[in-house]
Structure 1
Amino acid sequence: MRHPAESLTGEPYLPHRSVHLDFHTSPLITPIAQEFDPEEFAARFARLGVDSVTLFAKCHHGRLYYDTAREERHPGLGGLDLLRSQVDALRPLGIRTPIYVSVLFDEHAATTHPEWVALDADGEPVRVHPDGVPGWRILDMTSDYRHYLADQVTDVLEHFDDADGFFFDICFDQPGFTPTARAAASAAGFDPDTAAGRLDASRAVSHDYMARLRDMVAGRGHDGVPRSVFFNSRPRLLLADELGFSTHDEIEALPTGGWGYAYAPTVARSVLPIQPRAMGMTGRFFGSWGDSGSLHPEAALAYESLQMVSLGIGISIGDSLPPAGRSHDAVTDRLERTFRAVRDVQEVTAGAERVAEVAVVRPPGVGDGEVMDADAPGAGELAALRLLAARGLDFDFVAPRDDLADQLAGYRAVVVLAGVGLDDAAVRALTAHVAAGGSLMVSGLPQDADVLASLTGLEATGEPAHRREFVRPVPATSAMADFDHVLPGGVPRVRTTDDVQVLATVTEPYFDRTGERFSGHEYTPAGWPTEHPAVVVRGRVATSAFPLLEAYGSTGVPELAELAAVALAGVHPRPALRVDGAAHLEATLQRRGTTSFVHLLSYLPSRRTQADVETVLDPVPAVDVEVAVRVDGVEPRRVRTLAGADLPFEVTDGYVRCTVSFDAGHCLVVVEGE
């Protein structure tokens, strides 16, 4: 199905279903693409039902795949203009063809101009080492390589003035030790002799070449729609400062390739509040990019793709074209089934908007180091993801920037993670949120006494008495057993007022464990219950005196998650969606007019072998999942599944309630209003 261009005068087209077709092919392999058949190529993508395929002009080997006079043209192409043939095969099908260009990886340039290669602190060339084998060398963008790259892009534009867009890959910040890098840092006012100065300088270099390339490729594609531009490998924690470079975001996250299964849903919820024009990206490889001799499990592909669709965004699946130029039927079959499932859901939910009621204020981070590591969720973010998604409380991550008040607009509940510095502007924003009827949960005490008092009504009275202490739920207010659960640390002491509801108190150990004075294997047992509050609710504000979410995220103790859920429910009792199912279940809500769409995902990543990787082999059957959708006065006339099966329902207390069982991994519950 061809999706209409979004605007002939406005924004570039944003794909719904896309393939990112890798073709990193060594010049030592020759000939290449000898089995390429334009008709077979077109028929394959017609089967997949995609609306975009990212195709290669230049790969990591630094080789070009079109009919050019430049010496970098791949020597194995013979007389074939591969990229033009690919574009011309897909265009009649309404499939857009953004063009891929590798930036910091270019083996041809590194070999012919070793002076362009970045150096480390010891003066050695910087390169990646997958599995201990030397790999790609990293180019220095302060060298003349930047002009060489610009000339290549100019050549691509001369041959493809009808290009739909550009995907620039490997655009991370590379701190430099070359003479040109040091000189550039000094000229820009940064200290090349400090790590911070080198990082700031490298970021400025990235911004400089990104702006240059963006301006070079600006224009319109073959149908008059503005070109898309995307720079990959950028830290999403810096997205708010880099919005002007890319027209959209592609959230690269191959779970079995090192990203893990928490990365994509966490980063997506950080991206979407800032850049709603986004899509997820996974891969058909069992492992990561380059693992072309493997297949991603079908259930894993479905899970990763439908997870992004449940957040209201499209999906891109990475593939690899073999050197001979013809894809394997096994790959096509697997992708076809995945894209068909995605298309079926997208067509039913077209035009629906995601309902994210909760804003989770996370520590800002600095975006240092490898992008995968810099953007990965910490303990608090991971806890929020696991706690909220399983209950249908969809949320976004926001950073405590100066515009926090604007960021919080529209959210009914706010969760503040430990480590967030709350300045005067942030306190005013949170106070205004509560005054306007919103709810607030604070994980860990703000350091400033005035902030603590103004937000929570609590007064700090002392430090923890022991290195490790215990939290005891109060059954009367939490409905949890009064068992003493050990914490990773201690609990600061606070004083409360009479209008505070205490959900949990502190229990102290008999004594602190030392090398000379200990009892048991790991920590001294709980010995002395106290009246010191650990978790409290006051009006529409819940506060844990210790980092409750972070404690759950770092230990995995289920009761800590339950205690956090009780605290949040105490201040946010009527969410738009409630789901009662297994702990691994993920639920999100979308709405279009009077129709609500509830996405239920039932997959469970697991590690099954010695390989340090989690994957998904089968969906997990879900039985008797209770779903409650707040209808806000809209009278529901029908509740059904995606397949059209009617579900019995009732309306009570402003919620339409139903129970559903499914074994396909994804279930879409459609609540149709009058």
Structure 2
Amino acid sequence: MRLRQVHLDFHTSDLIEDIGSRFDAKAFGQAFKDADVDSVTIFSKCHHGHSYHPTAIGRMHPHLKFDLMRAQIDALHAHNIKAPLYLSGGWDELAANQQPGWRLMDENGLPKRVGGDPLGDGWAYLDFASPYLDYLCQQVKEVMVNYPDGDGIFIDITYQQLSAGPWTQQRMDAAGLDWESAEDRAKFAEQVNYELFEGVQQAVHKHDPNKPLFFNLGHVRRGRRDVYKRYFSHLELESLPTAKWGYDHFPLSARYVDVFGEPFIGMTGKFHHLWGEIGSYKAPQALAYEVAAMQAYGAGASIGDHLHPNGAVDATSYKAIGAAYAEAKAAEPWTIGSRNRADIGLVSVEGSRRPGFVGTPGTSNAADEGAARVLLEGKFTFDVLDTDMDFSPYRLLILPDEVIVDNALKLALDTYVAQGGKLLLTGQSGLDADKGLLFDIGAEWHGANPYSGDYALHDAAIRADFVADPIYMYVGSERISVTDGQSLGVVYDPYFERSPKHFSGHVHTPRRSDPSGYAAGVRKGNITYLAHKAFSAYRQSGAVAILELLEKTILSCLDGAPNVRVGLPRAGRVTVRHQPVEGRDVVHLLFAQPALRGELRGDNVQPIQDFVTLSDVAVDLAIGNREVETVRVVPSGEAIDFDVVDQRLRFKVPRLEGAAKIEVQYRQ
């Protein structure tokens, strides 16, 4: 799989007349070659429904005078640059206007558009339950026949929305489903999404069963590896950090995908904010950081751009892309074939729910994202797991807040703990409304605290260093009383629940003077339990006291000896990846500070603008009984002095400016 890609958007209205008028094949190919790009996803059909080549199925853009896609393929292939082909799926303005019966209707019978206004300027949704799906598959077949040298198929907007349109109604009636029922509409929409996957896959594989195929869902749903393995040749993790995704979305998704072995790339954008911002640019430092982060989390890179309607390549974009990709190319020998070294497995809440493919995908789950943030900020090494993955490689499993523990997961966790593994449960994880506590945590459960938020004074060993009094937790707790476990603190209730008739002070009600009699946490053997949904509380509030509580709790579960310790500020990140063939570890260090600069389209825009140089960054890495031969900064080759004490390698990185990679070569 190519590792330095560009996703070249080209959504162009028929109101624009100079389509491709300044396209120069030689300059086009040379621009990508000079920027060290090795694959460019180019457009067969855009969201407007226009094709950029002759077509018997849809309509070539009315102002395009030549086969632009063929010219782009040839220009790229002349430099050994691959050219996957893009077709818009769920959005097609041409089809929506010419075949209004194919449009997706909401439960009120109104046509659905992005943004919610049926008469607005957002893209119209098409209903895959209608003949539109066959129309799309015919377009795919045509591309496969006429452009067999295209290097893959990329289908965008591949999630079926809940529909009550005429085709959905007709088919649901025939299937004995009630289209007035939201539950039945969701069930049918899930079925339709599988029809989309099947139909497009058949259209591609009929002509070339080895052709790469990707369906863009906007967010990789954890818990659905079965679908990715069956229909996707690889994954592209769409995650533009200055837009709705943020800088913590990609690490969470990457740590999940990396585990189950699907080839994958990250996908950011050159834009200041969001897709389609022609004439907007993020700082080159931001692109360099984002590409380095993709390598640190085991991914190749794809940078989104939008080609000007006239077909001319944007010099400003490719100067920044080229700088980022030059660094990435030089570092590739230390990234290819690597696997994450993790001592913690984060069992995903989203994965335990096995989410469907219906509707516009969300980009976060509060518990999962809160846990990932704590682990990233605490410099812990971790993987993100489904409930049926192999738990044996991990010293500690974390089940944050709301993980659904069914019989199969319960058996797997019992086996894991019996074999010496540690387990951290928070909030409702490990609880069943009917059965109560599913694990012997050394306590009894007495239901949920009726207060929406309460206070806790945790044991001194795990509470934040600067805290000596009960802290407000922003969420309520599960009421537990300790039996034969070790108490980890006490809960304080508020005087009363705040309401319009009962309130005191500006916000939440003060705590009572004495503890409630219930514990804030408990530990018995290898199982630790915290009574609050603490990871969600941190995601919601950002409270430093909660962050440090969780960090210290996790560290205590690891007996104070994590996989790696680094002297980085809070915004720093670290991963450790092992290359078994080369017999070495590579420590990836990242440090940049996004700053809130504005708000666009409902998103807080927090770009990276510059780097602060750090010197002599201390690293302390667990190496077991392996013998270290050399420690070097790569790719420069600068040697670093080191010591080994009690099977831990210690050294200092002389300089960190945005990103650094340190090779730890073991004696063979």
User: What TM-score comes out, normalization by structure 2 length?
Assistant: 0.91
One-letter identity of the residue aligned with 2:609: L
Selected match of 1:76 from 52, 63, 73: 63
Encode CA deviations 1:462-502: one digit per residue, 9 max, x unaligned: 6548554322233357684432211224434433355x444
> In 2, distance between residues paired with 1:476 and 1:163?
59
| Whole-angstrom distance in 2 between the partners of 1:179 and 1:590 | 52
1:97 alignment partner, SS class = coil
- What percent of counterpart residues are identical? 32
Counterpart AA for 2:620: A
1:668 aligns with 2:656: no
Q: Give distance in 1, aligned partners of 2:335 and 2:138.
A: 44
In the other structure, the counterpart of 1:11 is none
Asked if 2 retains the 8 angstrom alpha-carbon contact of 1:443 and 1:548, the reply is yes
Q: CA deviation at 1:525?
A: 4.2
Q: Which residue of 2 aligns with 1:496?
A: 482
CA offset digits 1:584-633 (Å, max 9, x no partner): 11111101233111111111222123543222112243355332111111
- Distance in 2, matches of 1:56 and 1:324, equals 14
Identify the match of residue 43 of structure 2 among 33, 53, 56. 56
Are 2:549 and 1:563 equivalent residues in the alignment?
yes
**Residues 477 and 414 from structure 1, CA distance in 2 versus in 1: closer, same or farther, beyond 3 angstroms?**
closer
**Structure-1 residue corresponding to 2:574:** 587
Distance in 1 (alpha carbons) for counterparts of 2:504 and 2:140: 68
Alignment check: 8 A CA contact 1:188 1:201 kept: no
Check 1:451–1:590 CA distance in 2 against 1; reply closer, same or farther (3 A cut): farther
Select the residue among 618, 640, 644 that pairs with 1:626.
618
Letter aligned with residue 454 of structure 2 = E
On the 8 A contact 2:431/2:438 being kept in 1, the answer is no
Cα 1:200/1:600, change in 2 over 3 Å: same
Aligned to 1:459, the other structure's residue is in SS state: strand
In the TM superposition, 1:59-458 aligns within 5 A as 59-68=46-55, 72-78=59-65, 80-129=66-115, 133-218=120-205, 226-233=210-217, 236-237=220-221, 239-243=224-228, 244-274=230-260, 276-363=262-349, 364-365=352-353, 366-367=355-356, 370-373=359-362, 375-378=363-366, 380-400=367-387, 404=388, 406-445=389-428, 446-448=430-432, 452=437, 454-458=439-443
Provide the C-alpha distance between the structure 1 equivalents of 2:546 and 2:261, rounded to a whole number of angstroms: 33
Q: Is the 8 A contact 1:390 1:579 kept in 2?
A: no
When residues 275 and 176 of structure 1 are mapped into structure 2, their CA distance, relative to the original with a 3 A threshold, is farther
Q: Does 1:609 align with 2:592?
A: no
Aligned length: 650
The CA RMSD measured in Å over matched residues stands at 2.6
How has the CA–CA distance of structure 1 residues 385 and 84 changed in structure 2, closer, same or farther, with 3 Å as cutoff?
Answer: same
**1:5 maps to what in 2?**
none
Q: Which moved more, 1:333-342 or 1:659-668?
A: 659-668
SS at match of 2:50: coil
- Separation in 2 of the partners of 1:600 and 1:265? 14
**Partners in 1 of 2:537 and 2:360 — Cα distance?**
25
Q: 2:9: which partner in 1?
A: 22
Query: Secondary structure of 1:273's partner?
Result: helix
**One-letter identity of the residue aligned with 1:417:** P
User: Cα distance, 1:235 vs. partner?
Assistant: 5.3
The one-letter amino acid of 1:414's match is L
Q: How much has 1:656 moved relative to structure 2?
A: 0.3
Q: 1:527 to 1:466 in 2, by over 3 A?
A: farther
Letter in 2 for 1:431: D
The change in CA–CA distance for 1:519 and 1:213 in structure 2 (over 3 A counts) is closer
- When structure 1 is superposed on structure 2, of 256-265 and 462-471 the one drifting more is 462-471
Could you say what secondary structure the match of 1:279 adopts?
strand
| SS state at 2:545 partner | helix
Measure how far apart 1:368 and its partner are.
Answer: 6.7
Contact 2:442–2:483 (CA under 8 A) maintained in structure 1:
yes
DSSP-derived class of the 1:408 partner: coil
The amino acid of 2:595's aligned partner reads S
Quick one: distance in 1 between partners of 2:345 and 2:45? 40
Change (3 A) 1:444 1:136: closer
Equivalent residues of 2:586, 2:661 under 8 A apart: yes
Q: In 1, distance between residues paired with 2:193 and 2:503?
A: 54
**1:277-298 deviation digits (Å, cap 9, x = unpaired):** 2111111111211111211222
Q: Is the contact made by 2:481 and 2:517 (CA closer than 8 Å) also made in structure 1?
A: no
Question: Is 1:636 matched with 2:659?
Answer: no
Deviations 1:392-418 (A, max 9, x none): 322232333xxx2x4424222100111
Change (3 A) 1:23 1:579: same
Residue deviations 1:618-673 (CA, integer Å, cap 9, x gap): 22433553321111111212222223333332211211012335342111122222
Give the SS at the match of 1:236.
Answer: coil
The separation in 2 between residues aligned to 1:541 and 1:614, in whole angstroms, is 39
Distance change in 2, residues 1:36/1:479 (3 Å): closer
Q: Which moved more, 1:289-298 or 1:138-147?
A: 138-147
Q: Which moved more, 1:586-595 or 1:609-618?
A: 609-618
Aligned mates of 1:477, 1:125 — CA distance in 2: 54
1:447 CA drift (Å) = 2.6
1:666 to 1:213, Cα distance in 2 relative to 1, 3 A: same
Pick closer, same or farther for the CA change 1:141–1:421 going to 2, 3 Å: closer
Is contact 2:345-2:383 (8 Å) kept? yes
Secondary structure of 2:598's match? Answer: coil
Pick which of 270-279 and 630-639 moved more: 270-279
Preserved contact between residue 265 and residue 294 of structure 2 (Cα < 8 Å)? yes
Amino acid at match of 2:212: S
Instruction: From 500, 506, 514, give the equivalent of 1:521.
Output: 506
Change (3 A) 1:143 1:584: same
Specify every segment of 5 or more residues in structure 1 that has no aligned partner in the other structure, as ranges.
1-13
Q: Distance in 2 between matches of 1:22 and 1:423?
A: 43
Task: Give the secondary-structure state (helix, strand or coil) at the position aligned to 1:168.
Answer: strand
In structure 2, C-alpha distance between the alignment counterparts of 1:423 and 1:219, rounded to whole Å: 40
1:460 is the counterpart of 2:453: no
Structure 2 unaligned blocks of 5 or more: none
> How far 1:455 moved relative to its partner?
4.1
Does structure 2 retain, via aligned residues, the 8 Å contact 1:503–1:567?
Answer: no
1:648 aligned residue (623, 641, 654): 641
Pairwise CA distance, 1:384: 1.4
TM-score, normalised to structure 1, is: 0.90
SS of the residue corresponding to residue 650 of structure 2 reads strand
1 CA distance for matches of 2:173 and 2:323?
A: 54
SS at match of 1:260: coil
Aligned CA distance change for structure 1 residues 468 and 176 (closer, same or farther; 3 Å): closer
Q: Per-residue CA shift, 1:62-103, capped at 9, x if unaligned?
A: 11112445560122221x221111111222322211111112
C-alpha separation between the residues in 2 aligned to 1:395 and 1:377?
A: 17
Matched, 1:540 2:517: no
Structure 2 SS opposite 1:201:
helix
Cα distance in structure 1, aligned partners of 2:178 and 2:218: 23
Instruction: Assess if the C-alpha contact under 8 Å between 2:292 and 2:659 holds in 1.
Output: yes
Cα deviation for residue 236 of structure 1 reads: 2.6
Residue identity matched to 1:533: A
Aligned residue for 1:495, secondary structure, equals: strand
